[in-house]
Amino acid sequence: MALSALWFSLARQSRAAVLALVFCLGGLLHMLLHMLLDSLVGDIWWFAPFVDRPYALFTVPARYQPWWLNFVLHWSFVVELAIWVWALCIYRARTASAAASR
């Protein structure tokens, strides 16, 4: 990230520097959103290595076997399904508008 930002600041006219910076910013945004969603019911050490304590808004009780069934049957899984449905709706709207403009 720092190298692509430096490259971007030194060579502003370079298309490759812009693409590298956008790629790194996208990766950083993806990581941050992933950690935010994991903080809903998963343990995230937000202040590591300074504070050795995991943070989660809710806990998923261990009721079912195998372990992943606890997460699938928990109410928080609806949030992840809503994100999938939202992404699918955006995709379908864009492909429909692209097909209509042809």
In this predicted structure, the answer to whether residue 96 has a pLDDT above a threshold of 90 is: yes
Averaged pLDDT, 76-94: 94
pLDDT band at 89 (very low <50, low <70, confident <90, very high): very high
Answer yes or no: are the C-beta atoms of 11 and 17 closer than 8 Å: yes
pLDDT value of position 73: 93
DSSP annotation of 101 = T
Token pair of 56 as six digits: 């989660």
Instruction: Report percent pLDDT > 70 for the chain.
Output: 100
- What confidence score (pLDDT) does residue 95 get? 93
CA angle 37, 53, 69 (to 5 degrees): 45
Question: CB within 8 A of 5, min separation 6: which ones?
Answer: 21, 24
- Is this prediction's pTM over 0.75? no
> What is residue 29's predicted lDDT score, i.e. its pLDDT?
95
Residue whose entry in the numeric block shows the structure tokens 């492909």: 95
Mean pLDDT of 48-66: 93
Q: Under a CB-based contact definition with an 8 Å cutoff, are residues 11 and 1 in contact?
A: no
**Under 8 Å between Cβ of 23 and 13:** no
pLDDT surpasses 90 at 51: yes
pLDDT of residue 86: 96
